[in-house]
Every structure is written in C-alpha cells, then in structure tokens.
Structure 1
C-alpha cells in the first residue's frame, strides 16, 4: 500500500512520552512520520535517533510552539494527507486507517479523532464554536463538527495550503480552531471519526490552567476572531475583553483564576494590539479566498 499521509509529531522536551507515540505510529497503516523537535534539551533527540521506526526529524533552533512546529513541517509534506499529532498522544491500532478511509468516503477536508484521557474518559471528539467565539471540545457529536482537535487529526494537504496553512505566530492553542474556520470559509467540511482513537496524556507539555495557558488561549482566540469571524463578532469580543479588564480592579467578587489577573489580561491586550496589523492583513486575504461568507459560517455553527 502506498503512503498517503505524513504524520507530523511536534515535540518539546518529550523524553517521557515520545517513544510511546512512535511505538503506536509504527503499528499504523504505512505512513511517513516527521517529528519536529522544538529544540528539546532533555535527551529527546537521542530517543528519536535510536527509535527503531527511524522517523524523519526536523530539529528547530528554538522552541516555536505547536503551531510553529506544524508550520515549519508543512513545506516538507508531499503526501495527500497531513496528520497533526501531539507527542503525548498514542494512537490505537487502526487510527490512521480510520481517518484516511473516512476522508475517502466522505469527501470532507479534515477528520478529527476520538481523544481519550488516561482514565478512558473522552476529552474530545471535535471542536464546537461557542456563542462568544470560543473553540470548545465536544465530548458527544454527530458525524459533522465545526472543527478538529489539533492534537490528533487528518487534513487534506492541498486544502490546508490553499486556506493559508498553519498560523505559526499562535505558538500554541487555537491554531486548530483558526484553521477550521478558514477551511469552512473555503467551503470545506470536518467530520468526527469515532473509531479513530488516541490516548492522550493531557497537559504533559503545557499545564492547563496556568498563566501561560490562559495567556495563549485568550490572545489567540481574539486574534482568530479578527482574522476569521464577522467584524461585529470580532469587535464585540475585543470590546468585551477590554471592558472586563478595565473594571476588574473594582470587582470584589473577582474569580481566583489566572485569566482574571489584571497583569495577564493587560499583557493579552498588548499582544493582541501588536498582532492586529498582521491579523487584519490576513483577514483581507482570508476574505478574498472565501467561498462562504463569515456570517454564514457563524450563523450555522456559533452556539451549537
């Protein structure tokens, strides 16, 4: 059987889990495995060099994050499909076959996996778009979903390139929801494939709930909306974030969470303002490529 997919595994200090990921990939349908090593300094490089599957390795000179690693790999992909896979995710046998077969049968541009946590509970079977523009994990869904979970998904390579590739500047988080937005604006569909299962050591590389986690999430959501969403939604969410930040010092009932810390929110606003010129340039380019209006995508998927 010919190789139709390149599986891109982005790792950073993945010594504790990268071997399990590669072991699982070795049991899949034939594929090209490309590991992007984000300048790991913990012995990851030696594990990659010694692994019996002999994966191709692209070692970056600095940590470019998950989004940056995927973006660096894309020019090297020459297969029909490209898979995104976290280094702390271990696909079950038949995972890649299920995703490839689903795209063949359905004609969709992307397929998302069933991502399971260590205890067997479901983390994600796709991504939904909330009424205020967040990307949120689905744990139950039908066949079609708004977007894919970037930790374990398969995308048509030509469609990914045509919609603008991977937003490297996001570093990590929301690169998948931003990409799903652009694929949908181009007229593409995303399907959830239940039998394509992976086991995920959630938070092995980044700590959910940490200040960095919230900073990247808040910043990238707002930048994504500027790039992809209807103007009224993007402006409304920017104004809402700024207004909540302004009144935060006056609130006595302020939640004890990192994303309600004034310093973090001010940093997010500063980073969004710095990213705004490039985001607006991208917005124009995304609009010119679009086959479906932003309003139509929002009406169909927001709040579902």
Structure 2
C-alpha cells in the first residue's frame, strides 16, 4: 500500500538500496512537494540501517521490503502493481527534488496529451545539467542530454532517475523490464512507449539535484556489464531486426578482435567494457536469454501501433540521435 494524500494523481516510487547516507534528504524533499502525492519506497534488502530510517521518517512512507536486491528495474517492477494512481513518478534515492518538481511534471503532461512520460532536469549540486532526458546514438546507445533546454521539448526517452509516467500507458507498454536490474530500463520503456505512438517530454523547469553515482559506481565492472548487456537486450526487444543483429554482431566481432589487438601492441581503452572477460560474460548472458528475448520481442510487437522501422527512422532523422 502507498501512503499520502488520497486525492493525489501521482504515486512517487523511490527505489533504495543501502541508502542510509541519502534517503532521508530525498524523503525530506519529497515531503515539501507543492502537489499532492502518495509515496512508496521499495527497499532492495538494504542492510545498512536504511529500514530504520524509513520507519522513523515523519512522512511515514509506505515501504515494500524485498528479500533480495533486485536493482532499480526490479524495484520499479515490484512497485507497479501497488500503484493505483493515474501517474507514477520514478525517483532515485540519491536525489533532492525542488518543491515544484512534481507540479511541473504533472502540468507538462496535462499540456501534452500525446506524451506518456516527462523527464526532469537532473543537475549537480552546483546546478550543472546531468540529464534532461535520453537520446539514441546511431548504434543504439542511450546518451544523456546534458545541455540546457529552456522549455518542454520532445526527446527520445526519459531519464529514469526522476521522471513521471502515465501509469496506464506504462502498463499497456509491458511495464518495467525487471531483468535489466540496472540501466537502460528507462530507454527500453521509452522505446516501447514510442512504439505505441506516444511521445516523451524533457521538462527543464522540473529540477532535481542528483548525487550522481551514489547508489552505483559509474565506471565499475558491473556498471559496464549492465550497460553493454542491457543495450543489447533492449535492441533485441525493441529495435528493427537488422539493427539488433548488426549491433550484436558488432559487439561479438570487437570481442574477438580485442585480444589480437593487444597481442600486436595496438591501442585498447582501459575501461572495463573493453576487457575480453567482461565482454564474453555479456555475450553469454545475451545468448543464454535469446529464446526469452525473442518471446519478449513478439510481445512488444503485439502491443505496438507504430512499426519499429518508423521509430528508428525518427531516431536517425530528427535530432534524437547524437
């Protein structure tokens, strides 16, 4: 059960894992919102005192405590059946939204009935933009929009750290891909919303301070594993078949070439996603899930009202691509 104002249109879902150092600041900020809301915190089996902080917080959030860490995507998927409001907000536990954050997002969706989701401006403590939404590169990588926008703008996808979605549209598009664990669950969801003919807005007036990387470690081995694997999962589920096959083949080819390049003394980046062991693990995970991914791809197609090729053409022709 969520808690908060029974007349609220939005349930704010906060996903936390070992969030003791920042969850209180997040909930304090949520409590200052100028728009009525309900709140649900999903605790991914934290073992650092987070549960005690949630129980003691004066906003008395409803809490769903999971028996194991299911990641951001898993937590969102677990929360969705508990959301009984018209709108659902996704919020990282290491964010501090401004008091008018929710009101700005709600107003933006009200002003554009074709939009199924609205992405906030996530910024650093000194006001530098971190993400106002997501674009796709020509290879199907998601990339944060970190340049200033001045008004609500149609973008390819929302950044899942601070966004508002129409609950019915999210459910109709197939919900949240829980198996992603972390990263690309927002871009995958945005793609499926677009396949249903809906758009996504970036709303720069809806501002959220984000302690980037407080809950995950950008640049770490697991960060790169999730990013590379989930990009391929997303492409297999959502992209035109030629794009999905091309990018999976390209990933496999580079994996095969990297050891030879090292042997010959050629330049190889030091990042984890250029290490053969990690790439082989990603390929193993993708191959191991090809049959379920094929079923998911068919389910996405059944829900779609716009051809995959049409969405990809938009990516390549209107500035959604970097």
1:174-224 CA-to-partner distances (Å, cap 9, x unmatched) read 000000000000011101111100000000011100000000000000010
Aligned twin of 1:124:
131
Alignment of 1:127-206 (within 5 A): 127-140=134-147, 141=149, 143-206=153-216
Aligned twin of 1:65:
71
Q: Distance in 2 between matches of 1:258 and 1:117?
A: 25
Aligned twin of 2:278:
264
Alignment of 1:191-270 (within 5 A): 191-251=201-261, 252-270=266-284
Q: Distance in 2 between matches of 1:14 and 1:23?
A: 14
**Cα shift at 1:275:** 1.7
Structural RMSD (CA):
1.0
**Cα shift at 1:118:** 2.2
Listed as ranges, the gaps of 5+ residues in structure 2 are: none
TM-score by length of 2: 0.93
Aligned length: 304
Which of 38, 41, 54 aligns to 1:48? It is 54
1:50-95 CA-to-partner distances (Å, cap 9, x unmatched) read 0000000000000000000000000000000000000001101100
1:243-282 CA-to-partner distances (Å, cap 9, x unmatched) read 0000110112111111101100000000111121111101
Q: Distance in 1 between matches of 2:99 and 2:161?
A: 17
- Find out whether 1:19 has 2:24 as its counterpart: yes
Q: Distance in 1 between matches of 2:159 and 2:172?
A: 20
Q: Distance in 2 between matches of 1:5 and 1:279?
A: 31
Q: Distance in 2 between matches of 1:61 and 1:256?
A: 36
Listed as ranges, the gaps of 5+ residues in structure 1 are: none
**Cα shift at 1:120:** 1.6
**Cα shift at 1:117:** 1.4
Which of 263, 280, 293 aligns to 2:294? It is 280
**Cα shift at 1:119:** 2.7
TM-score by length of 1: 0.98
